Structure 1
Amino acid sequence: MSSCDGQTKTSAARVLTQEELDRLGSERTLVSDFKQMKLEKEAQKNWDLFYKRNTTNFFKDRHWTTREFEELKACREFESQKLVLLEAGCGVGNCIFPLLEDDLNIFVYACDFSPRAVEFVKQNPLYCPERCCAFQCDLTKDDLMENVPEGSVDVVTLIFVLSAVHPDKMKLVLENINKVLKPGGIVLFRDYGLHDHAMLRFKSGNKLGENFYVRQDGTRSYFFSKEFLAELFEETGFQSVANDYVLRETVNKKEGLCVPRVFLQSKFTKPGQSQSS
């Protein structure tokens, strides 16, 4: 896949064609409760198998994070200040290793649902316990404070992670993150947006709920509207700093199509002492 155009930020959701509207409207049958419960129970196993199949080859290294999220540089008062980062849902480290290479004054906590993904992080030649602490964690139920001191993190990245969590449990993830984030700290979020091409491609029988689908491999994906996301964060004590759709066209070479991708890119802060006093 390559981009055939730049990306645009917009506050409005992508407008669907009539054909797309019809396709979404015709999908009314939801996956049975029994299968939904099985998917929830086997979520970790399914992600572990995903990493077993794809090892470290599926996602490209994300060298774009510092470009897109200037906070990673800007939220320090001086150059040599240590920045403590938590990557919630680190996968195999595509985001953290470019950051550790680029920036010597960063310490990263990195956790993932999949024990196999965490193993890949620890096996990376750039992994060094003085600068990085990787651990397995189910963000919906394992207390982050078992590995990360309370209120010690400057920046949390939540990149293509929350979409894999059942919507009923998303709030638990944010409450968990809130405990380890410093007052005044920031959450950098990027994930699938409403009406993304991937959402429109699901065949009949893959719908779990509103904007929530299951892929063939059993992993699940939610597609966020900015309103839903803002409400989720605000109800867990965060304040919105930025919350925009990112639209980009991507060429699917195999099908010779230019397809519309939609992501949601957002920043939320945990109110600091100074703001609340």
Structure 2
Amino acid sequence: MNESRSLEDNSPVAQLDGKIPANGSVAFQLTGHRARTLSPEEAEKLAKEQVLVSDFKQLKLEKDAQKNWDLFYKRNSTHFFKDRHWTTREFEELKACREFEHQKLTILEAGCGVGNCLFPLLEEDSDTFAYACDFSPRAVEYIKQNPLYDTQRCKVFQCDLTKDDLLENMPPNSADVVMLIFVLSAVHPEKMRLVLSNIYNVLKPGKCVLFRDYGLYDHAMLRFKSANKLGENFYVRQDGTRSYFFTDELLARLFLSVGYEEVINEYVLRETVNKKEGLCVPRVFLQSKFRKPERET
């Protein structure tokens, strides 16, 4: 199983706090602006990892980014990620942005994968129409082959968010909410701003991007070897897909540089402790909301 992607958070964090899951572990969570503090051993490990992957290989990884994600979905089909039934609990805006009951909402899921978030959301809320796109043509095709796929309720299309204009598939200022969940971390840091600018054009004024992704010093980051390092907080997995680990400061700078307003931008720090096996797994995510201004300056 892939080293960092296999650790994606697929469950509602609020259900885990201090409770004992079936495996005997206990999970504790803190939410706020405090980043995780490294242990001396972890700090020493990261300090030694200063050698970067060669420029030649980095250019090839960027060139082959779409192919590597397509191969990932070819190997794993639709079975790798669990369905995300937690999104409406973690992000109240998915329902709270309605001005009246049964108002039809239009959402965009940017980076929809094979529909693990899309289909549970449409099933839970019959008054939602969803646009959804993904970098991988194979992932998009899996969605269209799903028996739950309904063109009356959603439009799914292939899109490289760093260069393909979303306005070719949806109207400007049309989305009541945009979901960007475990997606931006897979984009080269130099191109992240292009993604946010692209999304900005289809988001309604006054509405939000709902963001969740890997945070600095997450357990997945600490498992990478020095041979996997592409840059500061940026790594490549064995299958050629990449992952960036965000600080709240960097994320805010990215969004604000495009014109968004910060609503909330917090670390989610969670530790799963298995006393029997002597294991402690520190998970770090950023969960954030950034709003397109009501009136653009």
Q: What range is the shorter-chain TM-score in?
A: over 0.9
Name the counterpart of 1:157.
179
Counterpart pick for 1:220 among 238, 242, 245: 242
Taking every aligned residue pair, what percent have the same amino acid on both sides?
74
For the residues of structure 1 that align with 2:274 and 2:212, how far apart are their CA atoms? 22
Contact preservation (8 Å) 2:28, 2:272: no
Alpha-carbon distance, 1:251 to partner = 6.2
Alpha-carbon distance in 1 for matches of 2:79, 2:270: 23
Tell me which amino acid in the other structure corresponds to 1:237: G
Give the SS at the match of 2:289: strand
Given the alignment, which residue of 23, 30, 35 partners 1:8?
A: 30
1:96 corresponds in structure 2 to 118
Q: How many residues align?
A: 274
1:29 corresponds, among 20, 29, 51, to 51
- Cα offsets for 1:179-231 (capped at 9, x unmatched): 01110111000000000000011012110000000000000000000000000
Alignment of 1:194-209 (within 5 A): 194-209=216-231
Q: Secondary structure at the match of 1:205?
A: helix
Q: CA deviation at 1:249?
A: 2.1
- The 1:259/1:83 distance shift into structure 2, 3 A limit, reads same
Asked if residue 62 in structure 1 is aligned to residue 65 in structure 2, the reply is no
1:106 Cα offset (Å): 0.3
The answer to whether 1:270 aligns with 2:292 is yes
CA contact under 8 A between 2:161 and 2:195: conserved in structure 1? yes
- Given the alignment, which residue of 98, 102, 110 partners 2:132? 110
User: Secondary structure at 2:271's aligned position in 1?
Assistant: strand
The AA in structure 2 aligned to 1:215 is R
CA positional deviation for 1:79? 1.4
Distance 1:84 1:14 in 2: 36
Matched, 1:179 2:201: yes
Unaligned runs of 5+ in 1: none
- Residue 256 of structure 1 and its aligned partner are, at CA, apart by 6.5
Distance 2:26 2:170 in 1: 41
What is the aligned partner in structure 2 of residue 261 from structure 1? 283
8 A Cα contact 2:112 2:118, kept in partner: yes
Q: For residues 57 and 77 of structure 1, do their structure 2 counterparts lie closer, same or farther at Cα, with a shift above 3 Å needed?
A: same
Cα displacement (A) at 1:120: 1.0
Cα distance in 2 for partners of 1:267, 1:211 equals: 22
CA shift, 1:91, in A, is: 0.3
How big is the shift at 1:123? 1.3
| Contact kept in structure 2, 1:247 and 1:260, CA below 8 Å | yes
Selected match of 2:188 from 157, 166, 170: 166
Residues 256 and 128 (structure 1 numbering): CA distance in 2 closer, same or farther, change over 3 Å?
farther
- Contact 1:188/1:266 (CA < 8 Å) preserved in 2? yes
Normalised by the length of structure 2, the TM-score is 0.89
**1:125 alignment partner, SS class:** coil
Match of 1:141 in 2: 163
Shift of residue 124 of structure 1? 1.4
SS at 1:173's partner residue? Answer: helix
Partner of 2:99: 77
Q: Quote the Cα distance in structure 2 between the aligned partners of 1:75 and 1:196.
A: 31
1:143-175 CA-to-partner distances (Å, cap 9, x unmatched) read 000001111111000000000000000000001
Taking the aligned partners of 1:216 and 1:201, their CA distance within structure 2 comes to 12
The residue that corresponds to 2:70 in the other structure is 48
Deviation at 1:258, TM superposition (A): 2.7
Q: 2:141 aligns with which of 115, 119, 122?
A: 119
User: What displacement does 1:7 show?
Assistant: 2.8
Report the CA distance between 1:61 and its aligned residue.
0.5
> Quick one: distance in 1 between partners of 2:293 and 2:137?
33
Amino acid at match of 2:172: E
